[in-house]
Amino acid sequence: MATTYAPSGVALNKVVVAYLDDRRLHGCVFDFSPLKDTFRLVAEREVSQPKGAEVALKDLKAVFFVKDFRGNSKYKESQKIGEGKPGRKIEVTFSDGEKIVGTTQAYNPKSKGFFVYPADAKSNSLRIFVVNWNVRDVKFR
């Protein structure tokens, strides 16, 4: 897994942005905050130009912070949460029916969203920012 750096030497987060209309874009983020309504997505080859495209949370279902952009579409992630993982065990169902399972430490249905850490340690996702208003159901396990 290669780390991407801004010209300033700051390590950047690689993300896959999942839109409500099923589009998926990937790039790097400089200024993501779970408290803000927008962030900037920059193509990996353009990290020297930190301007990027503005992305609005209202248009998204989730932001997947990933190890790399390749991933493995054939890999079937385990839904079993191992003992000792910090946080509450959670299952999130999005409005389109997609489900993710993992743990969370800060679920609040009144906030913009919350982070889920995948159940499967071999997942390409390091963490997932789930946008609350596009969630159909949340179950604690």
pTM beyond 0.95: no
Cβ contact 41:100 at 8 Å: no
Q: Which domains does the chain have, with CATH numbers?
A: 13-66 (2.30.30.100), 88-140 (2.30.30)
Q: What is the pLDDT of residue 11?
A: 66
How far apart CA 57 and CA 50 sit, in angstroms, is 19
Instruction: Mean pLDDT check: name the lowest of 38-42, 66-70, 81-85, 90-94.
Output: 81-85
pLDDT class of 118 with cuts at 50, 70, 90: very high
Residue 89 corresponds to which tokens in the numbers above?
């065990």
Indicate if the pLDDT at residue 22 is higher than 80: yes
Close Cβ partners of 98 (under 8 Å, ≥ 6 residues apart): 61
Q: What is the pLDDT of residue 9?
A: 59
How far the first Cα of the chain sits from its last, in Å, is 32
Q: What is the pLDDT of residue 79?
A: 81
Q: Taking residues 21-35, what's their average pLDDT?
A: 90
Q: What is the pLDDT of residue 81?
A: 80
pLDDT, tens digit (0-9, with 9 covering 90-100), for 83-107: 777 899 999 999 999 999 999 998 9
Amino acid at 82: G
Smallest CA-to-CA distance from 1 within 20, 18, 14, 10 is with 14
